[in-house]
Amino acid sequence: MDAGCPRLPDTVLFEIFLYLDHADVLSVGLVCQQWRAVARDEFLWKELFYRYYRVSRDVPRHPGAVSWYDEFQRLYDTIPCVEVQALKEHNDQVLHLSFSHSGCLFASCSKDCTVKIWSNELDISLQHSSNMRPYNWSYTQFSQFNSDDSLLLVSGVFVGPHNSSSGEIAVISMENFTLLSRVRNKPYDVFGCWLNETNLISGNLHRIGRITSCSVLWLNNAFQGIESENVNVVKRLFKIQNLNASTIRTVMVADCSRYDSPDLLLDYEEQLAASSTCPVFDLGSDSEEEGAKPKPPPEPAVQELPDAGGVPAEHGLQQLFDGIMEGHVRPAMTETELESKVAKLFVQNRTKPPEPNLLPMDSNSKTKYLIFTTGCLTYSPHQIGIKRILPHQMTTAGPVLGEERRSDEFFDSLDHVIDIHGHIIGMGLSPDHRYLYVNSRAWPRDCVISDPMQPPPIAEEIDLHVFDLKTMKEVKRALRAHRAYTPNEECFFIFLDVSRDFVASGAEDRHGYIWDRHYNICLAKLQHDNVVNSVAFSPVEQELLLTASDDTTIKVWRSPRAVRIRQARRPRPRKLLFSWLLNQKS
């Protein structure tokens, strides 16, 4: 035992642990031999972990953790919570951030109507800036690199005739930063996304009535100017009817090929079942637990078409019209209610049935999901629609309007719908595309929507839901820490991002937030001077996070461990005395 170090009971040492700072706890093994012995005691570290981070006792240790000591150190030392750089090249609100798949570049979009490309080196630097005002854009709002990082999709708000605002998508080459093509995108908050290396998805909106419309999703070739004379450069993917003033927005594509080998399983029973094939001795366990039985495979979750009480839709529509003409329909319906009723009856008889067996049965499946926000009760997005994209639909080859349709298949149905019961303000996929994270602001419990143009009030608290796209079910409880204050009609998108172990989101309370995906706990608050609109993890280094804000800055955050490593790599300046001595000798 070290000289001068008193012998204390382990229980006393543990109580001291609870009041120490993170850094003191982790360096406590350097004090004396007794501290070193306790600092490697797995039981004490397990107790400290659950108490300090306030994790529920029924949550097991992270499946990739070797010990409770290492897990405590991971949550302290690898969270990107240290601000290392502030980028101030934008002169207006910064709305969105996106990394290239290699992690070498990232793009930023802003109300200053530029998209800027940054080089992610030792110190981040601006590589290129494209001004979109010459193309009548008001601002840039979203960007995404294609799978090989050769092209950048940029989405913005386009000012058309008579100052009408719509959307437009631009494709920029990363080789020489030239503009390759532009595609109209309506409404602008469809954003757009890549389906594969050379094809992107855009939207269009056709009004049918005051509160009824039709959303058409188009597949576009990125090289339209070059290839349009010889081959099709556009093809209609889906045509979906919108009810009660809703529209399709925020499209994204999920790849189903990795659903059986995710980076992190969020269901604890699945974790136990997966680890039972390769048991690991847990030094911190209280007792030997029996292996959990694997859950039976879930039944495919497929949306059912509305039931008209056994009456065919065309007969129901005729009965409605007859009842109105004869005065039998009571109570009298408003114009809005009548339009909604007619639209629902019409869509029943003019919609292609959903695809059977939505859930992928083969882990090598080339199937992809098109995911977007939608709704059926009001204009505010409150549902997530999922539509399967089959392999033959992933090219612009073939008829421009897609496959021939029968008269009773005028619209495409959704294969699955997830109801959020609140206003959706953000979505993001885990890196393996197994889990969908959704930011929403809840409606009051048991609220009833009588007018689609008057949605319910929304909560200030933002709920972060997690859905398993393999089972189409919500997993874990919703995360909560961040807040928003704008009402329904002014509500805007707050982008989130997901890494292997963490999920991050912006908020209107001038902070970005980081949670641990496994333990479901908030780990850090990252401060700005105004609303935080977007966050982005480096896809190759989750200890690097970017945040973008209305304060016009992009902040760069690294973990304490990464900061130490980078400081050690920097060349140290020679001391003045040593330099003076060298000069004297010369």
Predicted local confidence at residue 302, as pLDDT: 36
Q: Which run of H or E residues covers position 27?
A: none
- Give the pLDDT confidence score for residue 6 in this predicted structure: 47
Q: What percent of the chain has pLDDT over 70?
A: 72
What's the pLDDT at 3?
A: 47
User: What confidence category does residue 284 fall into, taking pLDDT thresholds of 50, 70 and 90?
Assistant: very low
Residues whose CB falls within 8 Å of the CB of residue 470, separated by 6 or more in sequence, listed in order: 259, 359, 360, 434
> What's the pLDDT score for residue 162?
63
Q: How far apart are CA 68 and CA 192, in angstroms?
A: 43
In angstroms, the CA 100 to CA 135 distance is 25
Nearest-angstrom CA–CA distance, 400 and 378: 32
Cis ω for the linkage preceding 487 (within 30 of 0): no
CATH 1.20.1280 in the chain: give the residue spans: 10-78
pLDDT at 532 > cutoff 90? yes
Whether the per-residue pLDDT at 269 is higher than 90: the answer is no
Question: Rounded CA gap, 47 and 54, in Å?
Answer: 10
pLDDT band at 308 (very low <50, low <70, confident <90, very high): very low
Between 247 and 352, the more confident residue is 247
Residue 164 burial (CB < 10 Å; 0-12/13-18/19+)? exposed
Beta strand pairing status for 193-194 and 114-119? Answer: unpaired
Q: Residues 16-30: what's their mean pLDDT? A: 51
> How wide is the angle at C-alpha 469 spanned by C-alphas 463 and 472, nearest 5°?
80
CATH number of 10-78: 1.20.1280
- Check if the beta carbon of residue 202 is closer than 8 Å to that of residue 220: yes
Q: How confident is the model at residue 113, as a pLDDT?
A: 97
pLDDT of residue 1: 43
> Of the given ranges (120-134, 358-372, 406-420), which has the lowest mean pLDDT?
358-372
What the block records as the tokens of 458 is: 């929304």
Q: What are 321's two structure tokens?
A: 């019209």
Range with the poorest average pLDDT among 257-266, 449-458, 463-472: 257-266
Give me the mean pLDDT over the 479-483 stretch. 85
> How confident is the model at residue 357, as a pLDDT?
64
Buried b / exposed e along 28-55 (16+ C-beta atoms within 10 A): beeebebbeebbebeebbbbbbeebbeb
Q: What is the structure's pLDDT at 289? A: 35
Position 222: which residue type?
Answer: A
Q: Strand 179-185 and strand 416-419: pairing?
A: unpaired
Residue 562 CB: number of other CB atoms within 10 A? 18
Give the least confident one: 56-70, 246-260, 361-375, 488-502: 361-375
> Cα angle vertex 194, ends 192, 243, to 5°?
40
**Which tens digits make up the pLDDT trace of 245-266?**
899 999 999 998 888 888 888 8
More confident residue, 19 or 348: 348
Q: Which of 341-350, 399-408, 572-581 has the lowest mean pLDDT?
A: 572-581
- Nearest Cα to 204, choosing from 214, 194, 195? 214
Mean pLDDT in residue range 136-154? 97
pLDDT of residue 584: 58
Average pLDDT over residues 194-217: 93
**Region 528-542 average pLDDT:** 97
pLDDT at 485 (0 to 100):
84
Q: Report CA-CA distances (Å) from 413 to 240, 330, 342, 349.
A: 7, 31, 17, 11
Query: Which pLDDT score is estimated for 427?
Result: 97
CA geometry: angle 442, 433, 558, nearest 5 deg:
80
Q: Per mean pLDDT, which range of 259-263, 334-338, 499-503 is the poorest?
A: 334-338
What is the reported pLDDT for 579?
56
Q: How far apart are CA 317 and CA 240, in angstroms?
A: 20
pLDDT (tens digit per residue) in 416-447: 999 999 999 999 999 999 999 999 999 999 89
Candidates 56, 116, 119, 55; CA nearest to 523 is 55
Write out pLDDT tens, residues 53-106.
899 888 999 998 999 988 988 998 999 999 999 999 999 999 999 999 999 999
What are the residue ranges of CATH 2.130.10.10 in the chain?
A: 82-260+365-567
Chain mean pLDDT for the chain: 81
**pTM here?**
0.82
CATH number of 82-260+365-567: 2.130.10.10
Give me the pLDDT at residue 283, please: 29
Give the model's confidence band at 348: pLDDT under 50 very low, under 70 low, under 90 confident, else very high: low
**What is the spatial distance between Cα 108 and Cα 153, in angstroms, rounded to a whole number?**
12
The neighbouring-strand residues paired with 279 are none
Q: Are strands 496-498 and 479-483 parallel, antiparallel or unpaired?
A: unpaired
- Confidence check: pLDDT of 14 > 60: no
Minimal CA–CA distance to 415: which of 467, 378, 370, 474?
370
Taking CA atoms, 89 is separated from 112, 125, 153, 173, 537, in Å, by: 10, 10, 21, 22, 20
Instruction: Say if residues 358 and 225 touch (Cβ distance below 8 Å).
Output: no
**Mean pLDDT lowest among 287-301, 318-332, 485-499:** 287-301
Select the more confidently predicted residue: 335 or 155.
Answer: 155
**Collapsed DSSP state (helix, strand, coil) of residue 167:** strand
Tell me the percentage of the chain whose pLDDT exceeds 90. Answer: 52
**E strand or H helix at 42, and its extent?**
helix 42-52
Q: Bridge partners of 171?
A: 153, 181
Using DSSP's 3-state secondary structure scheme, residue 416 falls into strand
